[in-house]
């Protein structure tokens, strides 16, 4: 049987489920719902397409990697897209997702820019990457999430300055858990807060080395 499987003349029992689920999700259809009777288990497959976005993402994956997307990645993408933004713990609890492969799958999807993260480490959440948003509705949803994140970051800076006298770019990045590559983003955030009369420059310096304090 091992030899027959190697030459594609046979396959393990039950492997058809993965193929059916993959085919349905990659075409934007819902997973079948099982219905158990006294002597059988029935799976009803709905003809309607519930997620054109998932079909688009499946096609984008094939164009990007030159291979079909597998079921595990489809299930993760489906959970993230339908849930809008999910933590790692929420993804672990999603139906059918392989918990042992989840971190590896998330890393690969991030490297391919199919998903990205938002929020701090303690509340880090996964969302569909902005480069994969095509429809106006998707873009509006993404913008809404980013506005919410920026509002939380501004609030965090205000709370920090209520305890400390001043803050600079480096301190803000550490406090917000942002990488050094986001120095320009933090500078823009400071400028926005200055324009709104929330903070003011406490000590002049180069653009990314100014100190700021709450405006009285």
Enter the pTM of the model.
Answer: 0.51
For residues 45 and 43, give the distance between their C-alpha atoms in angstroms, rounded to a whole number.
Answer: 6
Mean pLDDT (whole number) for 138-162: 76
pLDDT of residue 206: 67
Q: Which pLDDT score, from 0 to 100, does residue 207 have?
A: 61
Read off the pLDDT of each residue in 41-51 and give the average, rounded to a whole number: 70
pLDDT tens figures, 19-32: 777 777 776 677 77
* Residue range 86-97, pLDDT digits in tens: 888 888 888 778
As a whole number, mean pLDDT of residues 199-211 equals 80
Q: What is the mean pLDDT of residues 151-177?
A: 88
Domains of the chain from N-terminus onward = 2-132 (1.10.10.10), 147-214 (1.10.10.10)
What is the band of 105 on the pLDDT scale with cuts at 50, 70, 90?
A: very high
- Check residue 167 and give its pLDDT: 92
């Amino acid at each position: 049987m091992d030899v027959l499987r190697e030459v594609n003349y046979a396959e393990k029992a039950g492997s058809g489920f993965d193929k059916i689920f993959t085919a349905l999700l990659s075409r934007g259809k819902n997973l079948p719902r099982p219905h158990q009777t006294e002597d059988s288990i029935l799976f009803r497959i709905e003809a309607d397409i519930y997620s054109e976005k998932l079909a688009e993402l499946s096609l984008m994956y094939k164009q990007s990697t030159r291979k079909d997307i597998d079921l595990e990645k489809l299930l993760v993408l489906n959970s993230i897209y339908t849930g809008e933004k999910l933590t790692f713990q929420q993804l672990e609890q999603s139906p059918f997702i392989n918990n042992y492969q989840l971190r590896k799958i998330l890393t690969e999807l991030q490297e391919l820019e199919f998903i990205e993260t938002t929020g701090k480490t303690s509340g880090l959440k996964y969302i569909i990457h902005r480069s994969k948003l095509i429809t106006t509705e998707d873009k509006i949803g993404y913008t809404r999430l980013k506005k919410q994140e920026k509002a939380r970051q501004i609030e965090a800076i205000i709370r920090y300055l209520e305890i400390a006298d001043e803050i600079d770019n480096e301190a803000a990045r550490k406090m917000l858990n942002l990488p050094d590559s986001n120095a320009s983003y933090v500078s823009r955030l400071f400028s926005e807060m200055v324009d709104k009369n929330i903070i003011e420059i406490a000590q002049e310096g180069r653009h990314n080395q100014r100190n700021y304090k709450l405006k009285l």
